[in-house]
Structure 1
Amino acid sequence: MKKILKITGITLLTVIILLLIAPFIFQNQIKNMVRNFINNNVNANVEFADVSLSFLSSFPQTNVTIDALKITNFEPFKDETLAIVKTMSFNMSIKELFKKADEGPIVINSIYINEALVNLKINSFGDANYNITKAQNKTPSTTNEGEGFTLNIKDYSITKSAFTYLDEASNTKFHITELDHSGNGTFSESISELKTKSEANVTFSIDSTEYLSNNKIKLDALIDLDLEHSKYTFKENKGFINELPIEFTGFVQLIENGQDIDITFENPDSDFKYFLAVIPKTYSKNISDVETSGNFKVNGKIKGQVTDETIPTLDINITSNNASFKYPELPKRVENISINAAIINTTGNVDDTYIDLKTFNFKIDQDEFKSSALIKNLTKNMLVNANVDGVLNLENITKAYPVTLENELQGIIKAKLNTSFDMNAIETNAYERIKNTGNVSVTNFVFSSVDIVNPLNISQANITFKPGLVTLENFKAKTGNTDLDATGTINNLLGFLLSDKKLKGNFNVASNTFLVSDFMVEGGSDRPVNQSTEPNDALKIPAFLDCTITANAKTVVYDNLTLTNVKGKLVINDEKANLQNVTSDLFGGTLNMSGLVDTKSKTPTFNMDLGMTNFDISQSFTDLDMLQNLAPIAKALQGKLNSAISINGTLGDDFTPIMNSISGGALAELLTTKVEPKNAALFDALSSKINFIDFDKLDLKDLKTALKFENGRVNIAPFDLKYKDIGITVAGAHGFDKSMDYNVVFNVPAKYLGGDVNRLIGKINDNDVNKISIPVTANLTGSFTSPSVKTDLTSGVKKLTAQLIEIEKQKLLNTGKDKIKDLLGINSSNQTANDSTTTQTNTPVKDVINGIISGGNSQNPNTPTDSTKQQGNIVKDVLGIFGKKKKK
């Protein structure tokens, strides 16, 4: 006995050891088997991380596990992912692993799939990405030969998986998430029985119409499998849509060109509570304690063939009569609920499917709401005919139904409206096919959101609908301290509400007080108004707006600016705002603006023309940062200004120009201007260097100048000023950082330049001397707050001295010439003198020349008189000047 036990123990130990080491021995064989199977059966790119083999976990079966399986398609879905599976395992007999190619197919008993993501797609040409099985060339006599596999499923499961299906031709979409599905059954050659359990979240839509939206679906089904005729009959079946139970019977049979379906279904219990169960639990909350009355019934029949040309006929009905519900924690009851809806198709042609909502009525307090709609041609150009008639108090929505709104709503909506349209008319703006008649009014509407600073209070709004046109009869609202009064027209309201079309219209907007801050969300940091860097985020003009706004506001407040009588036109389109002839009273004058603000790019830009008439200089250059950067010195001026500025650049997150980005030019004209030197450090610095100008009395009236600015620098074209009889020329540049580099040239009359110069002037008795001026240059550097002034008077005085000496020389020269003419008797009035006169004149000339030659020798009998000597000395001086000039 001991010997038998010993032999048995050794045998078992040997078997266990073999079972443990066998996977390592056959690992390469298993991997090759999987690769060969894939290559022989699949027309796609298949990758996997590893293949493992175990005999112990499923003994006497063997378990093959594939890790990180990924399947990607070839053309026409090249490189698109068909499936990703974290783990896939198969249980089969050990002998199946060692079958040769001529020994028949591989039989797999069970399959387990974990965390799979499958994407099935049929493109617009009818190609399916899941048709990846290679064709097998077999005759009926050889169906069991060659490579392949068959399933003998005892059980299977799919866990934590997702499934997506898209048919591009019909725009049909299925999206299944959190899928858990399992099944097991009894199988024979003819009739088998499969029991399954399924649970998933399902979204289903056809042509952008969503029929299920992440609804929780459960299904427990007992299915007869007639494998010989490919017919699957539902025997005992109960499903759940959210918490609405549905029982169904019927069959699905595979036919040559599709499927044949015959299924009927209904909810077994007619309690109205199950209507709430259809609504996703996120919105309906817990319905177990909800008080309900009335009934709710869903039933339907789906019968016919699913082929490339047809769908089954549909007759699905949803009804409820005189129902009500009340959540115990909420104060309001919803009552008089009537629902009569159907989904119908009588032909099998998918285009003939329609939804007929005959009635959807309810009442909250005394407010009744009634509606109906007929929606046809669901898969192509959808046709809609709808009626709304009733009153809805928005505040009661959250008091009667446990929905949590992201934004607070208040107000009463009254509507009596009929609309008839097709979706193609909306998409192509064919307004003649959009028939809207009726009106909608809103009173005491309050809307709050994190996207707006203050709640929007609409006291009254009336909208009238006519074919092709929606008219905003009136719109009175307030937000913060801003009031709005608007009228206008809207061309495509339905296109905006039902598709991605822009909101088009023309509006007239009036306001007594408009505060820009009421519409601007405060940022997380205190960014200065005059920004110097590009922000991370910027305000955007909404892309959905395509409208023209004619504005008239009595007072507009922006930051520290108050504009009055603001009028103009604003055209908004393509995330751009075009200002057209916008005028305003500002700084005691008039401002005119035209230009473009573009927020379509990542960084908003602007390009504007500004016209300023009779602006108060001191106030405007103190309160407007942009003007202060263009001409910092102007804040020391008192008076009026005319200016025209062309400017472009980028905008910061509060629509303030980023100064280092701007470029452009300006023309300015000063009117009735007075200087207040005490307001600027630059004038103090100039006064300390230049004592011949009193800047308090500097007159800048009618001054005109031109500026150009770019790259943070402002270049001033030279311009001229005048102080008494002193001419002044200014030129140079400064930066937006207040740095400067200017040259101011003072053309100063000589009389202002001190005693030495004036004594030199006094020696020359000539009126022209008083007109002499010299340029004195003052170089201004540093900054406007800390200026540095350098002047050069020495060179100016040297120039003046040279001028005075030259004048003296010219004076002596002219005097000498006159004396010579007198001595030579050259006189224009005596050109006809007789010879005797000439003879008489020659004698004194000779005497003068002799006197010059002899140096005035009195021993000569012809010695000239004293007066003649004096004349000779003068001429000698003059000739001496000439001699000096020759030496030079």
Structure 2
Amino acid sequence: MKRIIVIILLVIVVLFGAVLAIPVFFKQNILTTAKTTLNKQLNAEVEFADLKLSLFKNFPKVTVGLQSVLIKGKGEFAQDTLLNVPHIAATMNLSSLFSSSRSIEEIILEKPVLNLLIAESGNVNWDVAPASGSAKKKSAATANAQEFQLALESIEVNDARLIYNDELAKMYADLEDINLDISGEMFGNTTQLNIGGVVNDLTYRMEGVTYISNTSLDLRTLLDVDFETMLFSIVESELLVNRLPLELSGDFSVPNDTTFLNLQLKTIASDFENFLALVPKDYEAYLKHITTTGSATISGGISGYYIDEDYPKTDLQVKVVKGNFKYADMPEEIKNISAEMLIAKPQGALDLLKININKAHAEIRNNPVDLTLKISNPVSDLQFDGAFVGKINLDHLKDALPIDSVNISGIIDANLFAKGRYSDVEAEAYDKIKSDGVVLLNNFVYDSPDLTQQVIIPSGQLDFSPQHINLGNFLLKVGGSDFRLSGKVSNYLNYVMKDGTLKGNLQLNSNFVNLNELLRLQVVEEEPAQSSDPAVIGQEPETLAFDVPENIDITFRSTINRAVFNRIPITDIKGEVRAVNKKLILDGLDMNMLDGKMTLNGSYENTTQNQPLFDFGFDIAGFDIPTMYHTVAGFRKLIPGAGTSSGKLSTRLGMKGQLSPQLKLIAATTNGKGSFSTNNVEIKDSPMFNQLSGILKKEKLRNVTIGDFTANLTVEDGSILLRPFTTRVIGQETTIRGSLNAESLLDMRMDFNVQREMFGPDIQKILAVLPGNEKITMLPAGVLLKGPVGDAKVNLDLSATQKAVTDATKDDLKKSLDEIGKGLKKLFK
């Protein structure tokens, strides 16, 4: 008995060891064979990072896993990835590992991305079949192919993505979050397959125009399959587009390079309520608690064949008759909804496609809106013919639709039509385009949680022609600011149809502009400020930086009577402001402010970090110093005692750098150069000059006059470097130089040449006892200012004074050394 137990244990150990060893023995063999076979049979580069075998997951079957599978093109597609699959799992019989013929029963693909590309050359990146070679090569490839056989019963695809980008036809489709499940015997001559698939997000664009977005597809179908003729017949099927149920029938076959299709599509039910299921899923919440009447149907089919650029015939009709819908808690309804749309194309190129909206109509309280549109030649040269006529009372619209996020009111009355070819739009051949119409706005009000102020248009008229939109009597109010706009906007067709640049030349007049309100117009959600100070924890920094829209080139010739920025009143603003391709350009913008004048030139452009780039030139004439002190906080910090002073300041300065999100200078980024000058400056009761009472008469320091001067400066990485200049302070010749660094630390020196009668009484007495003092009529004295702006320390440098006294009295000092020694001791103590 003991021997039998030992033998059984040995058998179990050997079998278990074999199970563990098989993945090791066969891994490299399968990995090498798979890579070699695929690269021989495909005109592409095939790579995968690793291969794993598991005998336990589906025992007695083997699970083979491939990691990071990549298929890259060659030639012009060498930089494009055709297929990227992070993980592929396949199930096969254990016996397949020991035979020359290996069969695969199940395949699972996780998060595959298939990128189909048609280049402008017309070549496609999925043509990976190798060029025909010798019969010997073909025979070898066939032999290799026969090493693998399919006995598939299941294919599962999870979270896939399919991208189709036709650069030649300017067509783009993106199918995201695809989940696919196929079951049935995928071998033999005939079979039935159960297919279930979901596409959670479908996007389709053509010529830069998005026709479908955020749309979901859900397909459940049973197929009869004849593998010999490659004929697939739909036994039963249901297709959900968003939530609209459609019936799909017919068949398709792929006997060779050509695909033959004979498919029909129709709505299962004709109620208008079902048709509303086409609304994208993001807006489904708005369709709750509504009642509907009327009918809506979709019908049509696809028949013919597809090969290369030859597409099958398409005939799809959409019809809505006497549709009405009403929200349960709304007093008004949208009624008499009708529409007829035809999407048709004969067998042939996609350029033969036509879309006709014969008439779309709706009413709210007897205010009708009508739309017609015809589109053809979408690939080669888009032709359009459309009209929109209607009067929309926004107060009535609010009574029919739950517009919770915004508050709007007023009347929009529109009568527009346009007909032409897109090539004429591009060529600006507006004489070949028929376009006319007018849009009238009356008491339009827009109030949104995203804005801090209401936007009001008391009246406005937009006249449309192929060349431009003419603005007439267009009044606009934003908070306390008012604007009157007139002028023309051009290239609007190109802007709307193909991301062209919207151009404009407008006259902007205003009685008052509150820049504080306008800079805070957009509500911006910010992350809480990080601070250890309990008083500011949880506060959000105010963001004033703003973006200039792209694809616009609009010039505003501005005349503004009054404006306010921070606490600074500004009057008589005139000049040009140009918004072009995300940049704001100021050209000769003149204004009166701070009892002086300023001309501003330069540019502003925001960044993704909300730290705008600026490059400004300032030409300031006659700013009043006490007015600056009382209205500009930064000036108060720079010159604390200027509030009781008088005089004018002028400057010419060019500066560039970056601003913070609060539109404050980021000092370390700032560079520039320029000059400044003063006129009739008098500084009263200055704490700094009061510290000079040791050498100058106190009464002279109460009202310090500074002679008119011009000084040059440079700004380097936020540090202001003041070049030496000479002026007169209290009538005394003074040379000034210094710097102010990016941390607002001041380092300045003033070298005085002081006339003898300006010395204080203490120094006069000391000088009086010095032999030869009558020779001293003027003495130099240095003053150093170092430290934070507004609290700099004042120190005297009398080394030059000592030398001047010594030089002037050295001959007489020999006669009375004792007196001189005592005098100097007191003077330079």
* TM-score, structure 2 normalization: 0.82
Q: Check 1:167–1:585 CA distance in 2 against 1; reply closer, same or farther (3 A cut).
A: closer
- Residue 619 of structure 1 aligns to a residue whose secondary structure is helix
- Residue 323 of structure 1 aligns to a residue whose secondary structure is strand
- Residue 296 of structure 1 aligns to a residue whose secondary structure is strand
Is the contact made by 1:48 and 1:66 (CA closer than 8 Å) also made in structure 2?
no
Q: Check 1:91–1:443 CA distance in 2 against 1; reply closer, same or farther (3 A cut).
A: farther
Unmatched runs of 5 consecutive residues or more in structure 1: 1-6, 528-533, 806-888
Which deviations, in whole Å up to 9, do the C-alpha atoms of 1:623-667 show, x marking residues without a partner?
Answer: 335656776675553134454444444333333334552432223
Match of 2:303 in 1: 303
Match of 2:240 in 1: 240
- Residue 27 in 1 paired to residue 23 in 2? yes
TM-fit CA distance, 1:264 = 1.9
Letter in 2 for 1:119: L
Match of 1:691 in 2: 697
Is the contact made by 1:539 and 1:654 (CA closer than 8 Å) also made in structure 2?
no
**1-structure distance, mates of 2:802, 2:64:** 101
Match of 1:884 in 2: none
Is the contact made by 1:356 and 1:375 (CA closer than 8 Å) also made in structure 2?
yes
Name the stretch that deviates more: 496-505 or 301-310.
496-505
Q: Counterparts in 2 of 1:214-253, with a 5 A limit? A: 214-253=214-253
TM-fit CA distance, 1:270 = 1.1
TM-fit CA distance, 1:563 = 0.9
- Residue 719 in 1 paired to residue 726 in 2? yes
TM-fit CA distance, 1:243 = 2.2
Letter in 2 for 1:550: R
Specify which of 610, 616, 619 is matched with residue 624 of structure 2.
Answer: 616
Name the stretch that deviates more: 510-519 or 145-154.
145-154
TM-fit CA distance, 1:570 = 1.5
Match of 1:815 in 2: none
Which deviations, in whole Å up to 9, do the C-alpha atoms of 1:379-416 show, x marking residues without a partner?
Answer: 343222221111234466565456775x5544432211
TM-fit CA distance, 1:504 = 1.7
- Residue 54 of structure 1 aligns to a residue whose secondary structure is strand
- Residue 83 in 1 paired to residue 88 in 2? no
Match of 1:866 in 2: none
Is the contact made by 1:776 and 1:791 (CA closer than 8 Å) also made in structure 2?
no
Match of 2:679 in 1: 670
**2-structure distance, mates of 1:704, 1:144:** 94
Q: Check 1:757–1:371 CA distance in 2 against 1; reply closer, same or farther (3 A cut).
A: same
**2-structure distance, mates of 1:87, 1:19:** 28
**1-structure distance, mates of 2:260, 2:546:** 57
- Residue 294 of structure 1 aligns to a residue whose secondary structure is strand
Is the contact made by 1:682 and 1:785 (CA closer than 8 Å) also made in structure 2?
no
Is the contact made by 1:705 and 1:716 (CA closer than 8 Å) also made in structure 2?
no
**1-structure distance, mates of 2:696, 2:773:** 27
TM-fit CA distance, 1:505 = 0.8
Match of 1:344 in 2: 344
Q: Check 1:368–1:141 CA distance in 2 against 1; reply closer, same or farther (3 A cut).
A: same
Q: Counterparts in 2 of 1:729-808, with a 5 A limit? A: 729-735=734-740, 737=744, 739-749=746-756, 754=764, 773-782=777-786, 785-790=791-796, 792=798, 795-798=803-806, 801=809
**1-structure distance, mates of 2:138, 2:552:** 67
- Residue 122 in 1 paired to residue 128 in 2? no
Match of 2:818 in 1: none
- Residue 695 of structure 1 aligns to a residue whose secondary structure is helix
**2-structure distance, mates of 1:157, 1:727:** 93
**2-structure distance, mates of 1:691, 1:144:** 111
Is the contact made by 2:313 and 2:347 (CA closer than 8 Å) also made in structure 1?
yes
Is the contact made by 1:452 and 1:520 (CA closer than 8 Å) also made in structure 2?
no
**1-structure distance, mates of 2:398, 2:86:** 44
TM-fit CA distance, 1:611 = 3.4
Is the contact made by 1:306 and 1:312 (CA closer than 8 Å) also made in structure 2?
yes
TM-fit CA distance, 1:194 = 2.7
**2-structure distance, mates of 1:595, 1:307:** 57
Name the stretch that deviates more: 410-419 or 353-362.
410-419
Is the contact made by 2:568 and 2:594 (CA closer than 8 Å) also made in structure 1?
no
**2-structure distance, mates of 1:549, 1:141:** 74
Specify which of 28, 33, 36 is matched with residue 39 of structure 1.
Answer: 36
Is the contact made by 1:45 and 1:74 (CA closer than 8 Å) also made in structure 2?
no
TM-fit CA distance, 1:310 = 1.1
Name the stretch that deviates more: 63-72 or 509-518.
63-72
TM-fit CA distance, 1:517 = 1.4
Report the count of equivalent residues: 772
Match of 1:863 in 2: none
- Residue 552 in 1 paired to residue 536 in 2? no
TM-fit CA distance, 1:166 = 3.4
Is the contact made by 2:239 and 2:246 (CA closer than 8 Å) also made in structure 1?
yes
TM-fit CA distance, 1:316 = 0.8
Match of 2:164 in 1: 165
- Residue 728 in 1 paired to residue 730 in 2? no
Is the contact made by 1:575 and 1:600 (CA closer than 8 Å) also made in structure 2?
no
**1-structure distance, mates of 2:734, 2:139:** 111
- Residue 691 of structure 2 aligns to a residue whose secondary structure is helix
Match of 1:112 in 2: 107
Q: Counterparts in 2 of 1:481-560, with a 5 A limit? A: 481-521=480-520, 538-560=545-567
Query: CA RMSD of the aligned region, Å?
Result: 4.1
Q: Which has the larger share of strand? A: 2
Match of 1:852 in 2: none
Which deviations, in whole Å up to 9, do the C-alpha atoms of 1:827-870 show, x marking residues without a partner?
Answer: xxxxxxxxxxxxxxxxxxxxxxxxxxxxxxxxxxxxxxxxxxxx
Q: Counterparts in 2 of 1:634-673, with a 5 A limit? A: 635=643, 637-659=645-667, 661-671=670-680, 673=681
**2-structure distance, mates of 1:546, 1:732:** 45
TM-fit CA distance, 1:319 = 0.5
Which deviations, in whole Å up to 9, do the C-alpha atoms of 1:703-761 show, x marking residues without a partner?
Answer: 222231424234254323275xx642232224263624322423415696736867999
Q: Counterparts in 2 of 1:859-878, with a 5 A limit? A: none
Match of 1:384 in 2: 384
Q: Check 1:17–1:756 CA distance in 2 against 1; reply closer, same or farther (3 A cut).
A: closer
**2-structure distance, mates of 1:157, 1:334:** 45
Is the contact made by 2:231 and 2:254 (CA closer than 8 Å) also made in structure 1?
yes
Is the contact made by 2:209 and 2:497 (CA closer than 8 Å) also made in structure 1?
no
* TM-score, structure 1 normalization: 0.77
**1-structure distance, mates of 2:769, 2:30:** 121
- Residue 754 of structure 1 aligns to a residue whose secondary structure is helix
- Structure with bigger gyration radius: 1
**1-structure distance, mates of 2:156, 2:484:** 64
Name the stretch that deviates more: 241-250 or 315-324.
241-250
Match of 1:808 in 2: none
